[in-house]
Amino acid sequence: MQRTFDIFFSSLALLVLLPLMIPLVIILRFSGEGEIFYKQNRVGINGESFSLLKFATMLKNSPNLANGNITLKNDPRILPAGNLLRKTKINELPQLLNIFLGDMSIIGPRPLTQDHFDIYIPSVQQAIASVQPGLSGIGSIVFRTEVEMFNQHDDPKIFYAKYISPYKGRLEVWYVQNKSLLTYFILIFLTVWVVIFSKSKTIWKIFPSLPKPPEELEKYCL
Protein backbone atom coordinates (compact mmCIF):
# COMPACT_ATOMS: atom_id res chain seq x y z
CA MET A 1 0.00 0.00 0.00
CA GLN A 2 2.83 2.44 0.83
CA ARG A 3 4.29 1.88 -2.64
CA THR A 4 0.95 2.90 -4.19
CA PHE A 5 1.01 6.19 -2.28
CA ASP A 6 4.68 6.69 -3.20
CA ILE A 7 3.85 6.46 -6.90
CA PHE A 8 0.81 8.74 -6.53
CA PHE A 9 2.55 11.42 -4.46
CA SER A 10 5.79 11.42 -6.49
CA SER A 11 4.04 11.65 -9.86
CA LEU A 12 1.70 14.38 -8.58
CA ALA A 13 4.61 16.34 -7.09
CA LEU A 14 6.63 16.07 -10.30
CA LEU A 15 3.73 17.50 -12.30
CA VAL A 16 3.04 20.31 -9.84
CA LEU A 17 6.72 21.24 -9.40
CA LEU A 18 7.67 21.07 -13.06
CA PRO A 19 7.28 24.87 -13.53
CA LEU A 20 9.81 25.35 -10.71
CA MET A 21 12.22 22.65 -11.80
CA ILE A 22 12.55 23.73 -15.45
CA PRO A 23 13.95 27.23 -14.59
CA LEU A 24 16.28 25.60 -12.05
CA VAL A 25 17.64 23.28 -14.72
CA ILE A 26 18.38 26.32 -16.91
CA ILE A 27 20.03 28.26 -14.05
CA LEU A 28 22.23 25.33 -13.08
CA ARG A 29 23.19 24.64 -16.68
CA PHE A 30 24.55 28.14 -17.09
CA SER A 31 26.09 28.68 -13.65
CA GLY A 32 28.74 27.01 -11.52
CA GLU A 33 30.26 24.04 -13.36
CA GLY A 34 27.28 23.66 -15.67
CA GLU A 35 26.13 20.45 -13.99
CA ILE A 36 22.37 20.01 -13.47
CA PHE A 37 22.20 16.81 -11.46
CA TYR A 38 24.49 15.29 -8.88
CA LYS A 39 24.48 11.49 -8.79
CA GLN A 40 25.88 9.49 -5.91
CA ASN A 41 25.78 5.80 -5.10
CA ARG A 42 23.73 5.11 -1.97
CA VAL A 43 22.77 1.95 -0.10
CA GLY A 44 19.18 0.94 -0.80
CA ILE A 45 16.86 -1.84 0.25
CA ASN A 46 18.56 -5.21 0.79
CA GLY A 47 21.89 -3.39 0.74
CA GLU A 48 21.75 -2.89 -3.03
CA SER A 49 23.36 0.25 -4.46
CA PHE A 50 21.43 2.84 -6.48
CA SER A 51 22.14 6.30 -7.92
CA LEU A 52 20.57 9.01 -5.80
CA LEU A 53 19.70 12.20 -7.67
CA LYS A 54 20.00 15.79 -6.45
CA PHE A 55 20.26 19.15 -8.10
CA ALA A 56 23.95 20.03 -8.24
CA THR A 57 24.81 22.38 -5.37
CA MET A 58 28.48 21.57 -4.84
CA LEU A 59 31.65 21.09 -6.83
CA LYS A 60 31.69 17.81 -8.77
CA ASN A 61 34.66 16.47 -6.81
CA SER A 62 33.24 17.46 -3.41
CA PRO A 63 33.32 13.97 -1.81
CA ASN A 64 37.09 13.93 -2.33
CA LEU A 65 37.63 17.41 -0.89
CA ALA A 66 37.74 18.87 2.65
CA ASN A 67 35.21 17.04 4.88
CA GLY A 68 34.11 14.46 2.33
CA ASN A 69 30.42 13.56 2.72
CA ILE A 70 29.94 15.95 5.65
CA THR A 71 28.76 19.42 4.65
CA LEU A 72 29.38 22.44 6.86
CA LYS A 73 27.73 25.84 6.97
CA ASN A 74 29.35 28.19 4.41
CA ASP A 75 31.18 25.20 2.95
CA PRO A 76 33.54 26.53 0.22
CA ARG A 77 32.55 23.61 -2.04
CA ILE A 78 28.97 24.94 -2.37
CA LEU A 79 28.16 26.54 -5.74
CA PRO A 80 26.60 30.04 -6.15
CA ALA A 81 22.97 28.85 -6.19
CA GLY A 82 23.70 25.97 -3.82
CA ASN A 83 23.08 27.62 -0.44
CA LEU A 84 19.49 28.57 -1.27
CA LEU A 85 18.72 25.18 -2.81
CA ARG A 86 20.14 23.35 0.21
CA LYS A 87 18.48 25.58 2.80
CA THR A 88 15.05 25.16 1.21
CA LYS A 89 15.70 21.45 0.43
CA ILE A 90 14.85 22.16 -3.22
CA ASN A 91 18.06 20.34 -4.15
CA GLU A 92 16.37 17.11 -3.02
CA LEU A 93 13.48 17.37 -5.53
CA PRO A 94 15.04 15.12 -8.20
CA GLN A 95 14.71 12.28 -5.70
CA LEU A 96 11.03 12.28 -6.64
CA LEU A 97 12.27 10.40 -9.71
CA ASN A 98 14.05 7.90 -7.44
CA ILE A 99 10.75 7.41 -5.61
CA PHE A 100 8.71 7.03 -8.79
CA LEU A 101 11.20 4.46 -10.12
CA GLY A 102 11.11 2.46 -6.88
CA ASP A 103 14.61 3.17 -5.52
CA MET A 104 13.18 5.12 -2.59
CA SER A 105 10.00 5.88 -0.66
CA ILE A 106 8.60 9.21 0.49
CA ILE A 107 9.36 8.10 4.07
CA GLY A 108 12.19 5.90 5.31
CA PRO A 109 15.76 6.04 6.58
CA ARG A 110 17.81 8.54 4.58
CA PRO A 111 19.83 6.65 1.93
CA LEU A 112 23.42 6.41 3.12
CA THR A 113 26.76 6.38 1.36
CA GLN A 114 28.58 3.09 1.85
CA ASP A 115 31.09 4.60 4.29
CA HIS A 116 28.34 6.01 6.52
CA PHE A 117 26.38 2.75 6.30
CA ASP A 118 29.48 0.84 7.39
CA ILE A 119 29.73 2.91 10.58
CA TYR A 120 26.61 1.22 11.97
CA ILE A 121 26.70 -2.01 13.91
CA PRO A 122 25.39 -5.07 11.98
CA SER A 123 21.95 -5.12 13.69
CA VAL A 124 21.32 -1.50 12.69
CA GLN A 125 22.57 -2.13 9.15
CA GLN A 126 20.16 -5.04 8.86
CA ALA A 127 17.22 -2.92 10.04
CA ILE A 128 18.02 -0.02 7.70
CA ALA A 129 18.48 -2.33 4.70
CA SER A 130 15.15 -4.05 5.37
CA VAL A 131 13.08 -1.05 4.16
CA GLN A 132 13.15 1.43 1.30
CA PRO A 133 15.27 4.51 2.03
CA GLY A 134 13.26 7.72 2.14
CA LEU A 135 13.17 11.30 0.93
CA SER A 136 12.41 12.13 4.55
CA GLY A 137 12.05 10.16 7.75
CA ILE A 138 12.43 10.16 11.49
CA GLY A 139 16.19 10.78 11.33
CA SER A 140 15.78 13.67 8.87
CA ILE A 141 13.20 15.37 11.09
CA VAL A 142 15.09 15.00 14.36
CA PHE A 143 18.39 16.01 12.72
CA ARG A 144 17.03 18.89 10.63
CA THR A 145 19.76 21.17 12.11
CA GLU A 146 22.61 18.74 11.49
CA VAL A 147 24.77 21.31 9.66
CA GLU A 148 24.59 23.62 12.67
CA MET A 149 25.73 20.75 14.90
CA PHE A 150 28.82 20.19 12.77
CA ASN A 151 29.79 23.85 12.85
CA GLN A 152 30.06 23.82 16.64
CA HIS A 153 32.70 21.10 16.71
CA ASP A 154 36.36 21.12 15.71
CA ASP A 155 36.24 17.66 14.13
CA PRO A 156 32.81 17.02 12.54
CA LYS A 157 33.77 13.51 11.39
CA ILE A 158 34.58 12.35 14.93
CA PHE A 159 31.45 14.02 16.31
CA TYR A 160 29.34 12.31 13.65
CA ALA A 161 30.83 8.87 14.24
CA LYS A 162 30.77 9.11 18.04
CA TYR A 163 27.37 10.69 18.69
CA ILE A 164 25.20 11.38 15.64
CA SER A 165 25.58 8.05 13.86
CA PRO A 166 24.76 5.81 16.86
CA TYR A 167 21.71 7.87 17.75
CA LYS A 168 20.52 8.01 14.15
CA GLY A 169 20.81 4.25 14.10
CA ARG A 170 18.54 3.96 17.14
CA LEU A 171 15.99 6.27 15.49
CA GLU A 172 15.96 4.26 12.27
CA VAL A 173 15.54 0.99 14.17
CA TRP A 174 12.59 2.62 15.96
CA TYR A 175 11.10 3.52 12.57
CA VAL A 176 11.45 -0.02 11.23
CA GLN A 177 9.84 -1.44 14.39
CA ASN A 178 6.96 1.07 14.22
CA LYS A 179 6.52 1.23 10.45
CA SER A 180 2.88 1.55 9.37
CA LEU A 181 0.73 3.52 6.95
CA LEU A 182 -0.28 5.82 9.83
CA THR A 183 3.37 6.50 10.70
CA TYR A 184 4.02 7.16 7.00
CA PHE A 185 1.40 9.91 6.82
CA ILE A 186 2.34 11.42 10.18
CA LEU A 187 5.98 11.70 9.13
CA ILE A 188 4.98 13.33 5.83
CA PHE A 189 3.01 15.91 7.83
CA LEU A 190 5.89 16.44 10.27
CA THR A 191 8.35 16.91 7.41
CA VAL A 192 6.29 19.80 6.04
CA TRP A 193 5.73 21.11 9.57
CA VAL A 194 9.41 21.38 10.51
CA VAL A 195 10.27 23.02 7.18
CA ILE A 196 7.81 25.79 8.12
CA PHE A 197 8.48 25.74 11.87
CA SER A 198 12.11 24.69 12.17
CA LYS A 199 12.20 25.04 15.98
CA SER A 200 9.15 22.83 16.51
CA LYS A 201 9.37 19.97 19.03
CA THR A 202 6.05 18.45 17.94
CA ILE A 203 7.63 15.15 16.98
CA TRP A 204 8.37 14.33 20.64
CA LYS A 205 4.72 14.88 21.56
CA ILE A 206 3.39 12.75 18.71
CA PHE A 207 5.93 9.94 19.22
CA PRO A 208 6.71 9.82 22.98
CA SER A 209 8.29 6.37 22.54
CA LEU A 210 11.15 7.76 20.43
CA PRO A 211 14.57 6.91 21.88
CA LYS A 212 15.94 9.93 23.71
CA PRO A 213 19.20 11.46 22.46
CA PRO A 214 22.45 11.22 24.42
CA GLU A 215 23.35 14.19 26.58
CA GLU A 216 25.73 15.55 23.91
CA LEU A 217 22.84 15.92 21.44
CA GLU A 218 20.01 17.04 23.72
CA LYS A 219 20.40 20.77 23.04
CA TYR A 220 20.11 20.14 19.29
CA CYS A 221 17.32 17.57 19.23
CA LEU A 222 15.03 18.28 22.20
pLDDT for residue 20 is more than 80: yes
pLDDT for residue 121 is more than 90: yes
Give the structural domain span for 198: 2-221
Spatial distance between the Cα atoms of 203 and 183, rounded to a whole number of angstroms: 12
pLDDT for residue 56 is more than 70: yes
- Please tell me which residue, 60 or 218, carries the higher pLDDT value: 218
pLDDT of residue 113: 93
pLDDT of residue 219: 83
Instruction: Look at 19-23, 55-59, 193-197, 215-219 and tell me which has the smallest mean pLDDT.
Output: 55-59
Residues contacting 119, CB < 8 A, separation 6+: 161, 165
Mind listing the pLDDT tens digit for each residue in 100-119? 999 999 999 999 999 989 99
Spatial distance between the Cα atoms of 159 and 148, rounded to a whole number of angstroms: 12
Instruction: Dump the DSSP string for 27-84.
Output: HHHTSTTS--EEEEEEE-GGG-EEEEEEE--B-TTGGGSTTTT---TT-TTB-TTHHH
* Number of folded domains that form the chain: 1
pLDDT for residue 138 is more than 90: yes
pLDDT for residue 28 is more than 70: yes
pLDDT for residue 9 is more than 90: yes
Instruction: Look at 36-45, 57-66, 75-84, 197-206 and tell me which has the smallest mean pLDDT.
Output: 57-66
